[in-house]
Amino acid sequence: MGPISETYRYIVRSAGVRSGNPIVEGTRIAVHDVIGLLQNGETIDTLRENCFPQLTRSQVYECLAYYEDHRGEIDLLVARQMTLVSE
């Protein structure tokens, strides 16, 4: 049995966009933006309604899937972003 390939329909990395961090394809919205908001009390519905109305539910859920597969990377990016906000 060969290795399992990690592919995401909506999550990409683009050089020069959000420092090459994972984003929702066709946007500049980073996975860590979505996860940080969810960790700070937004729900999927309020996130879509108030913060990122251009995202579909599928895109938000894929951000969550990416987070589950790359928790250490995304936690670090969320922590860095929160540090910048508090300064």
Residue range 50-81, pLDDT digits in tens: 999 999 999 999 999 999 999 999 999 999 98
Q: What pTM, to 2 d.p., does this model score?
A: 0.89
Q: Rounded to whole angstroms, how far apart are CA atoms 67 and 10?
A: 13
pLDDT of residue 5: 55
40 falls in which pLDDT band (50, 70, 90)? very high
Average pLDDT (11-22) is: 94
Q: At what angle do helices 31-39 and 57-69 cross, to 10 degrees?
A: 90
Indicate if the pLDDT at residue 23 is higher than 50.
yes
